[in-house]
Structure 1
Amino acid sequence: MTDRSLPDIESDLERAADLETGAAVELLERARRDLAELADDPGVDQDHRRTLENRLEQRMRELRNRDAYDGGDFGAAMDPDEDNAP
């Protein structure tokens, strides 16, 4: 079982936005494993855990798409210029 808490994982999700693609993927994959391990922990707020899982999946989608847009920022995946859309 992981010794990481939901706030630790939440912090990882925020940090991933500032990392290069490879490092961000590694950090998000670790967060995904940690969230999965916490699924059976009765001491964990499961609603909050599921919210973080959803945020993690959103970050992963943004990460997959961010390099396809000018600037390579996470925000570009959320609001692309029509001219720059893949």
Structure 2
Amino acid sequence: FPELTVTDILEGIQLLDEEGFIEETHLDVEKTVPERYKPNVNYFSRFIGTRRKRFDIQQKINETSILLLGLGGGGSNILTLLA
């Protein structure tokens, strides 16, 4: 498509990014992520586009502490899902 200008191409890339078809990858960070977390990284990367690193969400999850008080009907299910 030689008739396309640089502006046309950049607008096309921006449109694809806004629609969620493009994601940023950082190979240096990917090597440090344990294999068990890679499905989570792939899942959450669908929602961040190119503005953030795809590993940021998993890192936040890893750094988060949760206190669950009570293990009634709702708490038992929540505990299972969090585990």
TM-score (norm 1): 0.34
Higher normalized helix content (fraction of residues): 1
TM-score by length of 2: 0.35
